[in-house]
Amino acid sequence: MAHAAQVGLQDATSPIMEELITFHDHALMIIFLICFLVLYALFLTLTTKLTNTNISDAQEMETVWTILPAIILVLIALPSLRILYMTDEVNDPSLTIKSIGHQWYWTYEYTDYGGLIFSSYMLPPLFLEPGDLRLLDVDNRVVLPIEAPIRMMITSQDVLHSWAVPTLGLKTDAIPGRLNQTTFTATRPGVYYGQCSEICGANHSFMPIVLELIPLKIFEMGPVFTL
Q: What is the pLDDT of residue 89?
A: 80
**pLDDT by position in tens, the chain (length 227):** 677 777 888 888 999 999 999 999 999 999 999 999 889 988 887 887 766 655 566 677 788 888 989 999 999 999 999 998 888 887 788 899 999 999 889 999 998 887 789 999 999 988 888 888 888 999 999 999 998 999 999 999 989 999 999 999 999 999 999 999 999 999 999 999 999 998 888 888 899 999 999 998 888 876 555 44
Q: What is the pLDDT of residue 227?
A: 45
Q: What is the pLDDT of residue 160?
A: 93
The whole-angstrom separation of Cα 203 and Cα 183 is: 27
Phi, psi of 20 (to 5 degrees): -65, -40
Q: What is the pLDDT of residue 222?
A: 63
Q: Count Cβ neighbours within 10 Å for each residue of 134-164 and write b for 16 or more, e otherwise.
A: eebbbbbbbbbbbeebbbbbbbbeebebbbb
* Neighbouring residues of 126: CB distance < 8 A, sequence distance ≥ 6: none
Q: What is the pLDDT of residue 54?
A: 58
Domain with CATH 1.10.287.90 in the chain: 15-88
Q: What is the pLDDT of residue 183?
A: 92
Domain with CATH 2.60.40.420 in the chain: 95-221
The CATH number corresponding to 15-88 among 1.10.287.90, 3.90.110.10, 2.60.260.20, 1.10.10.10 equals 1.10.287.90
The whole-angstrom separation of Cα 152 and Cα 150 is: 7
Fold of the domain built from segment(s) 95-221: Immunoglobulin-like (2.60.40)
pTM, 2 dp = 0.81
Q: Specify whether the CB–CB gap between 154 and 163 falls below 8 A.
A: yes
Give the closest residue to 217 by CA, choosing from 180, 181, 189, 185: 189
